[in-house]
Structure formats: structure tokens, C-alpha cells
Structure 1
């Protein structure tokens, strides 16, 4: 259990790109990539993994996942949308992300949403989610330990296996609900 808590602390789950960290001036693509790489480097699973690449940004732009770019520069609104894409792509398909952000992009272009306020609310919810997550991990680990008493064999391996399958199952449940919400957005069109 202590190892698990230590592992969670190393994940830097609170690591989010805040509005204050986003420059007020528009950025070129290389500067956007550098900003994201610097901020989320600790979130990478290994050194070879890239947080954001030119190809990713170009694909997001071509797929209309965010508002059009002007003069090859990215505004704070672009950075917010790219940050949301970064968060969403861990669980949703690119098509689902496009569907999810389509209305937001429209609202941003029309000036009908304060995207900075929306993003700040997202960051607050994310912070609260991290706290709930840490509590849930502890409860889940305790539950696995209780169930482990009924099993014979290499208890260290079996404990890890039960934790992995349990956490992945919970992740899948949340992903499925998110996908259903995306489906509702599609149906409402």
C-alpha cells in the first residue's frame, strides 16, 4: 500500500497547464510544443514519448478540433483548446474529441463563451478529482488486500494483477459513460 501511495505521488496528478502559465502573447507552433513539453514532461511514461508534436497539432487543425489559426500563431484560446485535447485524448477517439469540442469552438468564435472561465472551472474540477482519486485508490487497494487473503500463490504478483485489472475496469467504466455523453451530443445535433 505504501508503494502504491508513493507511486501515485510521483505521477504529479495535479500537473495542469494553468491560465497564468499561458502567455498573453500569441505563440508559434514550436513555442506551443515547448510549453507543453516543459509542463507535461513528468507525465510521460518514458523518455521517447512525446507530449505534443507538429504532426499532432497539424492533424488537430486539419480535423478542426480547434478554432482556425491566424498568421501561424496560437492564441491563449488555442492553448486552452489544445490542453483540453491533451486531456481528452487519453480516453476518447479523435472523432469523439472533435464532436465534443465542435460546439465549444463555435461558441469561442462567436464570443458566446468565456473560455478562460470555463477552463478555470475545468482546472478546479480536475483538482477535486485528484483528491477523490487518491481516496478511491486507497479504498481500492484495501479492498484488493482483503480479497487477496482468499487466494493462494505469489501474493505480490496477484495483488498487482488485481489492482491493474480493477483500475482498468474502473477506467473503462468512466470512458464508456464519457462516450455515451458524446453520443448524446451527436443525437442532439
Structure 2
């Protein structure tokens, strides 16, 4: 059983190896049409698909992001490198956050750093953020191993063995899910306590001027 556990953990950690980081240097420095954008994203993020037929970003999705002010409007139906960087952020955020929460994050981001408005550009922000994330992989792996080992200690007396294995797996899923839930709650609180209030203040200032 120990060998099976090691193989199981290895299969899980293979997911980390599949995590795609799109290097900004891979993104064309020329503006792209919608079809080129979706093709690029599909090719560079395909390892993160759960099923081969899954669509990562569709034309409808991108148009909706623009309508909801998550993404600045394209210039003559063409999307810049900055658009691409924002789309990558949206791709990761949309799995855990609501559209309104992403708006709260993106509004100050695009207002201050999109379109060469600052010495710190979106590409610099993107590189820094993903460098920090990559540095957390080892800690994340250790945390998953700890949770898995803890789950293996649960339901020791459950019978038959098939039921016991199911309950241990269920326990592992619950531990991982609780971790995601807590972090999602933390993100939402940060947005509510800081970004949302800041957005309200900026709107108030604009009305007064």
C-alpha cells in the first residue's frame, strides 16, 4: 500500500509540473486579432485543461470581459501584449473569484499601469507576481504531502477496505477544499476592506471634481 501511496502522490505532483507559465517573451510584440489570441492561449495553456475538448478562452468570454470592463477595448479589433497579460490573469482569477471581485482588482490595475501610464508596466508586474508564485511551489508541495499523510490516518477501522479507501480519499479532498475555501474568504475580505473602499473613494472624488 505504501508504494501505491507514493505513486498516487507522484501523480498529483505531476499536476504541478503541468502548470504553464507563459513567459512574456513568448507573447508576440505585435497586436493580434481575436482568433490569434484564442489560438495562442489554447496552445500555451493546454496542459492545464482537465479534458482535451475544454475551451480555455473563447471569443464570447473575451467579449464579455471587455463589456464588464475587465479588459480594455481592443484597438481596431486587435489585442496588444498588455491585453494578453491581463487575459492570463483573468484566466486564473475566474476559477475562484466573481466578475465583480475581478473588476475591483483590475480597475486600479488598468487605470494606473495599462498603456504606459507608469514606470512600472503590466509586463513588470506579471513577471514579479509569477516569480513569487514559483517560489511558493516547494512550500505548497510540502503542505499537500502533510494533508495527504493526515488523511491516510483517518477512518482506520472502516470496513471493507474499499470503503476505507474511499473515506480516506474523501478526507483528503475535504482538507484541500477547506484550504481553498479559507483562502478564497481571505481574498474576498482583502478586496472588500481595501480595493472596494478605495474604488468608492475614487468615484466620490471624481464626482466632486
Return the TM-score normalized by structure 1. 0.92
Partner of 1:157 in structure 2?
166
1:106 aligns with 2:111: yes
1:147 aligns with 2:154: yes
Give yes or no for contact 2:30–2:80 (8 Å, CA) kept in 1. yes
Q: Which has the larger radius of gyration?
A: 2
Instruction: Determine the C-alpha separation between the residues in 1 that align with 2:65 and 2:101.
Output: 12
Question: Residues 23 and 38 of structure 1: is their aligned pair in 2 closer, same or farther, counting only changes over 3 Å?
Answer: same
Instruction: Determine the C-alpha separation between the residues in 2 that align with 1:48 and 1:119.
Output: 28
Match of 2:68 among 52, 63, 68: 63
Return the TM-score normalized by structure 2. 0.84
| 1:125-164, Cα deviation, whole Å (9 max, x unpaired) | 2212322221111111111122343x41322111110011
Instruction: Determine the C-alpha separation between the residues in 1 that align with 2:17 and 2:38.
Output: 20
- Give the superposed CA RMSD: 1.6
Match of 1:83 among 83, 88, 96: 88
Instruction: Determine the C-alpha separation between the residues in 2 that align with 1:129 and 1:147.
Output: 28
Deviation at 1:52, TM superposition (A): 0.4
Deviation at 1:44, TM superposition (A): 1.0
Unaligned runs of 5+ in 2: 200-209
SS of alignment partner, residue 12 of structure 1: helix
Deviating above 3 A after TM superposition, structure 1's stretches of 4 or more consecutive aligned residues are 10-14
Match of 1:179 among 177, 184, 188: 188
Count of residue correspondences:
188
Instruction: Determine the C-alpha separation between the residues in 2 that align with 1:132 and 1:71.
Output: 44
**5 Å matches for 1:16-95?**
16-95=21-100
Larger relative CO (CA 8 A, sep 6+): 1 or 2?
Answer: 1
Instruction: Determine the C-alpha separation between the residues in 2 that align with 1:162 and 1:72.
Output: 49
